[in-house]
Amino acid sequence: MRRVVVTGLGVVTPIGNDVRTYWQNLLAGKNGVGYITRFDASNFSVKIAAEVRDFDPPSIISPKQLRRMDLFNIFAVQAAKEAIEDAQLNMEPENPYRVGVSISSGIGGLELWEKQHMRLLESPTKVSPFFIPMMIVNVASGDVAIRWGMKGPNYSVVSACASSAHAIGEAFELIKRGDADVMIAGGAEAPVTPLSIAGFANMKALSTRNDEPEKASRPFDKDRDGFVVGEGAGILVLEELDHARRRGAKIYAEIRGYAATADAYHVTAPDPTAESQSYAIKRVLDKAGVKPDEIDYINAHGTSTPLNDKIETIAVKKALGDHAYKVAITSTKSMIGHLLGAAGAVELIATILSVKEDKVHPTINLEEPDPECDLDYVPDGARDMEIRYAISNSFGFGGHNAVILVSKHEE
C-alpha cells in the first residue's frame, strides 16, 4: 500500500506570511482581525476582516505578471514557493509527469471580477483579455505547474469553505492510487472585496462586532455572532513515502485518511442532526483503521457562527462518543478568521505542526462557553500534550464536509 507523507509547508496568513511566524503566533494566541483597509467599508454593516499584512509578492513573479494576477493567485504562488523550498523539492531529477498540483479556491479572482464588470458597464470592448484566465478558480493550480514545470494531474476541486480540504484529500488519493508521487496541494483566497463582504454580510453570516474587531471571531463562545472573513493561502507538499525516503526529505507527518460527505439538507445551514458531519468523521477513522479513543486533537471548522459551532460539537460527540469530552478541540479561525477556500489548508498545516510538536494552539476569545458547546476547546493558552492521531474538519456552503486524519510519521 502506498503511504503519503507531508514534506513541505507554506502559508500566507493574517498572522504570518511564513510557516514559522504563523505557528509561533498561533501558539501565542495572536489576533489577526482588524478594520478593513482594502476598500472604504464605512457604509458597510461589516467593517472588519482578517487581512494579510506586510506582504511583498515573491520576486519570482515579474512586475508584468503581477499586474495580470488576482491577489489569490499571488498568495498561492508565495505559499507554494515556501512549501516547495521547504521540501527541498528540485524538479530537475524528477519525472515531471509524476508531480501534480491540486490548488483550489472557494471563489477565485473576485476583486478582478468586480473591477472588470465596472469596465464592462463602460463598454464591452474595455474588458481585459486577461480577465477570464486571471479570474478562474483553477488558475493558481495552472500557474504553479507552469512556474515549476509540474506536468502531473492538475485541477481544482471547489466546495466553498471546504475547497482546500477536498483539494488536499483528493491529492492524497491521487498519490495513493499511483497517479502521482508528489502533489502540491492546498488553497488560496482573497475575499476582502466589496462584493464579497456585502454578500456575506447580507447573508447575516458575518460578525458585526465592529467596535471590537479583536474579539469578533469567538468560536464556541456564547456571544459569537458570525464569522470574520480572512484571506491568504496554505500549500502542502504531499509525497509518497518511498519517494520522500529516496530523496532524504524531512517528514512532518503522515496523512492517514480522508473522507467526504454531503449534508443534502440546505445550501447554507448545516443539518442540525449533524449526521453527515459525524459520518465523515467516522468514515475517516474507519479508512485509517484508527479507533475513536485514539484521536487526541481535533482542529475544528469552528467558524464562530451560532449554527456551525453548535452542530460541529454534536458531530464530534456522535462520532467519538464519550471520548469527545477528552479530545482537545481548537479553532484556528479564532485568530485568523475564515480563509474560505484556503481555510482547510492553513488549518491542516496547524494540525500537522501540532502532531509533530505535541502542542496545540488555543481557541482565543472563548470567554464564556455556549452551554451547547461543552467540550474542551483549549481556551486558556497553548497546550503541550501527546498527540497520536488528529483530524481537521472542513465544512462548506452547499453542505460539503471533508475530514482529514494525520499522525506522526513512524517507520
Partner 1 sequence: MTRDEIKQKVVDIIIEKLGVDPSAVTEGAHFIKDLGADSLDTVELLMGVEETFNVEIPDEEAGKLETVGKVIDYLAQKLS
Catalytic residues: 161
Q: How far is the CB of 84 from partner 1 (least distance, A)?
A: 25
Q: How far is the CB of 68 from partner 1 (least distance, A)?
A: 9
Q: Which is nearer to partner 1, 21 or 128 (CB)?
A: 128
Q: Which of 54, 64, 264, 322 binds partner 1 (CB under 8 A)?
A: 64
* Stretch in the footprint of partner 1 (CB under 8 A) among 21-29, 126-134, 238-246, 304-312: 126-134
Instruction: Look at strands 328-330 and 295-299 and give their pairing.
Output: parallel
| Residue 125 makes contact with partner 1 by CB under 8 A | yes
Are 147 and 60 spatial neighbours (Cβ–Cβ below 8 Å)? yes
Q: Which is nearer to partner 1, 128 or 273 (CB)?
A: 128
Q: Which is nearer to partner 1, 62 or 202 (CB)?
A: 62
Q: For residues 352 and 299, what is the distance between their CA atoms, to the nearest angstrom?
A: 10
| Residue 129 makes contact with partner 1 by CB under 8 A | yes
Q: Which amino acid is at 80?
A: A
Are 372 and 393 spatial neighbours (Cβ–Cβ below 8 Å)? no
Q: How far is the CB of 216 from partner 1 (least distance, A)?
A: 40
| Residue 126 makes contact with partner 1 by CB under 8 A | yes
* Stretch in the footprint of partner 1 (CB under 8 A) among 42-50, 84-92, 125-133, 256-264: 125-133
Strands of 284-370, DSSP E: 295-299, 328-330, 359-360
| Residue 124 makes contact with partner 1 by CB under 8 A | no
* Stretch in the footprint of partner 1 (CB under 8 A) among 109-117, 127-135, 197-205, 237-245: 127-135
Strands of 318-399, DSSP E: 328-330, 359-360, 383-384, 389-396
The torsion defined by the Cα of 195, 399, 52 and 108, in degrees rounded to 10, comes to -60
3-state secondary structure 70-117: CHHHHHHHHHHHHHHHHCCCCCCCCCHHHEEEEEECCCCCHHHHHHHH
* DSSP 8-state class, residue 293: G
Please return the burial class of 6, using the count of CB atoms within 10 Å of its CB with bins 0-12, 13-18 and 19+: buried
Q: Which is nearer to partner 1, 133 or 306 (CB)?
A: 133
Which positions from 91 to 110 touch partner 1 by CB under 8 A, shown as an x/- string?
--------------------
SS3 state at 5: strand
Q: Which is nearer to partner 1, 118 or 267 (CB)?
A: 118
Q: Which of 37, 45, 62, 95 binds partner 1 (CB under 8 A)?
A: 62
Q: Which of 264, 338, 342 is nearest to 303 (CA)?
A: 338
Q: Name every residue whose Cβ is closer than 8 Å to that of residue 59 and which is 6 or more positions away in sequence.
A: none
Q: For residues 234 and 219, what is the distance between their CA atoms, to the nearest angstrom?
A: 21
> How is residue 265 written as a grid cell?
439538507
Q: Which amino acid is at 405?
A: L
Q: How far is the CB of 67 from partner 1 (least distance, A)?
A: 8
Which positions from 275 to 314 touch partner 1 by CB under 8 A, shown as an x/- string?
----------------------------------------
Q: How far is the CB of 63 from partner 1 (least distance, A)?
A: 5
Q: How far is the CB of 156 from partner 1 (least distance, A)?
A: 21
Residues from 130 through 149 that contact partner 1 (CB under 8 A)? 130, 133
Q: Which is nearer to partner 1, 60 or 385 (CB)?
A: 60
Applying CB under 8 A, the site for partner 1 has a residue count of 9
Number of Cβ within a 10 Å radius of residue 273? 14
Q: For residues 213 and 46, what is the distance between their CA atoms, to the nearest angstrom?
A: 10
Residues from 214 through 253 that contact partner 1 (CB under 8 A)? none
* Stretch in the footprint of partner 1 (CB under 8 A) among 25-33, 129-137, 161-169, 357-365: 129-137
| Residues that bind partner 1 in the complex, under the rule CB under 8 A | 62-64, 125-126, 128-130, 133
